[in-house]
Structure 1
Amino acid sequence: RKMPKVKTNRVKYPEGWELIEPTLRELQAKMREAENDPHDGKRKCEALWPIFKIAHQKSRYIFDLYHRRKEISKELYEFCLDQGYADPNLIAKWKKPGYERLCCLRGCASGD
């Protein structure tokens, strides 16, 4: 009798992950801090600025490593997008002429 295969929730990290993990962990910690920061007296949009800024930093870090400096593999780049370490929609805009410095997608949301 065969034992049934047990599925584990372990994620297989691509080669090179150990090089970028410390920076991503640091940005994740900053993000948690920004999310938990009390926003007494701040307008809703002001309270969200630090969160958008950190999300931008994470996406820009991964974008630059892959597209500009060519320091990470396509596999690692796609892993980061799939796992939510970077915003694929924001990166798609950065690749288009005129959007290279876009900070977040709120500025070009249709219907506003």
Structure 2
Amino acid sequence: MRLLIWLVTNTLAVAVAAWIVPGIDFTDPGGLEENWPTWLAVGVILGIVSSLVKPVVTILSIPFIILTLGLFLWVINALMLLLTSWLAEQFDLGFVVDDFFWSALLGALVITIVNWAVATVVHD
């Protein structure tokens, strides 16, 4: 059940970010009803990147995190979103993040807020 909630949350967060943030797009026409396997795959990629790559990058950047009072974590989240976009491009999924400033930064913020909101609603 926890895996299913994690998967749906990541997919929902990516969908909301693509809907709200200009510069984050799915190149396939149609909505979530038609392209849900693609959106689900991008949610899985984001989850895997956040689970495997992000902890390593966070540990290696502890001095920057301390120096910026934690704001560098936002930059790390944006970089993970860009990595997700690059991986989705390699798998020809049609998920595109245009640039770091503002698309990735705003997208990371939206994804963080959606994940937080779902976590507060769904208690373990």
Q: Give TM class, smaller chain.
A: 0.3 to 0.5
- What TM-score do the two structures reach when normalised by structure 2? 0.32
User: Of the two, which has the highest radius of gyration?
Assistant: 1
More contact order relative to length (CA 8 Å, sep ≥ 6): 2
- What TM-score do the two structures reach when normalised by structure 1? 0.35
